[in-house]
Amino acid sequence: MPIRPENRARYPKDWKLRSYFVRFVRAGGRCEWCGAAHGEQHPVTGSKVVLTTAHVHDDRPEAPSPESRGTRGRSRPPPAGC
Ligand SMILES: [Zn+2]
């Protein structure tokens, strides 16, 4: 999900790298909720999965650690439960 312009200043300058690490190194390219694989067809919705980085334990974009974030598979429209 793109960063909204009004929130851009709240994200660290290396956000792209942090987001990549969470999605593809820590989570191995799979949704941490349902296991759907990035770029593949979602097993429930049939839509192409696009992983995003969610603020799970601390919803502030400026939260300092990758541990505060999770990876969720999103497709358009977002599947129920992910
Ligand atoms: Zn999922």
Span 2-61, pLDDT tens digits: 788 998 999 889 999 988 998 999 999 999 888 999 999 998 889 999 998 887 777 777
Binning pLDDT at 50, 70 and 90, where does residue 77 land?
Answer: very low
The neighbour count for residue 54, using CB atoms within 10 Å, is 19
Domain ranges in the chain are: 11-59+66-74
pTM assigned to the model: 0.73
Distance 65 CA to ligand 1 centre (A): 22
pLDDT tier at 80, thresholds 50, 70, 90: very low
User: 64: helix, coil or strand?
Assistant: coil
Cis peptide upstream of residue 77 (ω within 30 degrees of 0): yes
CA of 17 to the centre of ligand 1 (A): 21
Instruction: Work out the pLDDT band at 72, boundaries 50, 70, 90.
Output: low
Question: What is the pLDDT, as a whole number, of residue 76?
Answer: 39
Residues 6+ apart with CB under 8 A from 52: 1, 23, 71, 72, 74
CA of 6 to the centre of ligand 1 (A): 27
Tell me, in angstroms, the distance from the centre of ligand 1 to residue 38's CA: 10
Q: Count CA atoms closer than 13 A to 44's CA, side-chain side.
A: 13
What percentage of the chain's residues is helix, strand, coil (to nearest 5)?
25, 20, 55
